[in-house]
Chain A
Amino acid sequence: MYEKDGEKYFVVDSHMHFWNAAPDNWVPGAEQFADGWINCFHAYQGLGPPETHWTIEHFRSYSEDDLMKDVFQDGYVDVAIFQPTYLKEWYKEGFNTTEKNGALAEKHPGKFIVNTRFDPRDSDLGLKELEDNVARWGSKGLKLYTAEWNNGSRGWTLKDPGAYRFLEKAQELGIKNVHVHKGPTIWPLDKDAFDVSDVDHAATDFPELNFIVEHVGLPRIEDFCFMATQEPNVYAGLSVVIGGLMHARPKFFAKVMGELLFWVGEDKMTFGSDYGIWEPKWQIEGFVDWDYPSDEFSDYPRVTTATKKKILGLNAAKLYGIEVPAEFQLPADAGAPAAQDDAALVDLNEGAGAKV
């Protein structure tokens, strides 16, 4: 819970991790990838405020106590949603598995939601694993990382027939939410690995599932936004957007937020800290204080307290059926959704300077 200026915010961190990237977890022969991966994440942390930076040693494997303190004690989070990323070709026990997350969640009832994952290339064994994980951890959501390396393949897409088999199974098992995270590789490698058009297909063919595209499809926000306008069950996961841009690149943060509010709308955007890349504390404090920095942005939809309450927790609570105490709910008349129709074409008409 976060409180500022008399307003109370219920916080759902819908995208966070508990990983182990310490050298003793690196697969022999794949050390350069394991090391490269975690160094890349660490560089992202560098885009946050300097006082929140960690040493690489700490970053590789933070402890359970660190997580509980950073996320709940200092970080205002009410409910955190674990998103696993396996990467077992690089990390012996996996980078961040359902089991590792689930074990921590069991020690702290009510604090976590444990999502699981699948990889369609794992075929029948993978289906069985998915079924077991859902049964064991009560997962209602999936995290799908399409750039994972698996047995010579450099990635997959949600359009693959194999993936549809898994999505059907997931739906049958009661999964509601699918978080999609794109990465730099895919099969075949000549395609754009960050392309989100496969999510478009899957969202059309699985209307009962919600698809949360993490880091809003970055670096393909343009494709993501355009797709999201056409699919009622596609959401924008703000992991990386707040953490990576709000502090380091405030002007682009404002533009990206403006575009997202315009195309996707405040009812379909969810906060995710991406912990341990960034701690939630500064992200939440900064976002609650945030507004467009100048009149230059006047053509984008307005950002209200209701907008922020929805993004920081209420939207994700709805997706996951999390009960939100009345004191955090919006009054019935608050926060009409800022969607496209809201954003007048002011930019197309305003001003009266000299013409060419």
Chain B
Amino acid sequence: MTDATALLAALDTVRDPELDESVTSLGFVTSCTVSAEGIADVRLRLPTYFCAPNFAFLMVADAYEAVSGVAGVHRAQVVLEDHFASDEINRGVAAQAGFVESFDGLAETELHQLRTDFRRKATLAATDRVCRPLLAAGWTPEELADLTLGDLPEAADVERLRSRRAELGLPSGDDSALLVDVVTGEAIGVQALPLHLRRARLTGVSLQANGSVCRGLLRERYATVGLGEEEETL
């Protein structure tokens, strides 16, 4: 029999596309159960009633897919609670309807481009996580330009960078450059490097600050701790 631990592990892989953090660690999962018949039920919440509906839809749809893929789950129900577009999102995801159909007349295309744009931001932020310690340790930007991913020791932040790049179809193997353009995958030249690193830092600060505000608002909104919720790492 499938247990809730397996469901929660699946939900761990679902990320808030704007913040690039898992919905569990952000405290967005309030309940997750599976019945003896293999019916999974997941309840999600967000920091505000008015969180952007497109990103909310992606999280609910991704959660649905992740939970449905757990061995022993025959049917999944994912419910976003306390949100202005809960009805449209929950109904649309349950029917596997896609975004355009779920928001009849209010949307033009599915959310692939939106997701890609935010994976690029996530990749830039992940680049900053890897590069900042190197720079602090005395590496020059020019030296970084010569590094490949394989030159770096195994570390969580390096793994994160590789996985974000792989999701975008960017080179992520040992022999690919550490610093690449997040759209084209081309290595960043020495001249463009300082600006690239500054943008990576800025993007990292933005994502972290947003995540921090979201956690603060969630705390104001709900007194309860989410399943798998983790304190922010400052």
A255 and B216 within 8 A (CB) = no
Chain B residues with CB under 8 Å of A353's CB are: 136-138
Query: Interface range on chain A: under 10, 10 to 19, 20 to 34, or 35 or more?
Result: 35 or more
Q: Is A175 an interface residue (CB 8 A)?
A: no
A251 and B152 within 8 A (CB) = no
Mask of B128-172 contacts with A, CB within 8 angstroms, 1/0: 000010111111110000000001110000000000000000000
User: Which residue in chain A gives the minimum CB-CB distance to B213?
Assistant: A244
Interface of B is mostly: helix
Contact of A190 (CB < 8 Å), options: B110, B121, B136: B110
B53 and A255 within 8 A (CB) = no
B197 and A348 within 8 A (CB) = yes
Contact of B107 (CB < 8 Å), options: A190, A244, A352: A190
Contact of A249 (CB < 8 Å), options: B135, B136, B212: B212
Report Cα–Cα, A221/B209, bound state, in Å. Answer: 9
* Stretch of A29-37, A67-75, A114-122, A267-275 on the interface side: A29-37
B213 and A189 within 8 A (CB) = no
Report Cα–Cα, A353/B139, bound state, in Å. Answer: 9
Asked if A46 meets B216 with Cβ closer than 8 Å, knowing A185-B53, A189-B53, A192-B117, the reply is: yes
Q: In the assembled complex, how far is the CB of residue A4 from the closest CB belonging to chain B, in whole angstroms? A: 27
Report 10 cross-chain contacts, Cβ distance below 8 Å, ordered by A residue.
Answer: A184-B53, A187-B106, A189-B99, A189-B106, A189-B107, A218-B210, A221-B202, A221-B209, A348-B140, A352-B138
**A residues at B contact (CB < 8 Å):** 32-33, 36-37, 39-40, 42-44, 46-47, 152, 154, 183-185, 187-194, 218-222, 225-226, 244-245, 248-249, 251-252, 255-256, 259, 262-263, 345, 347-356
**B residues at A contact (CB < 8 Å):** 18, 47-54, 84, 99-100, 103, 105-111, 113-114, 117, 121, 132, 134-141, 151-153, 194, 197-199, 201-203, 205-206, 208-210, 212-213, 216-217, 219-221, 234
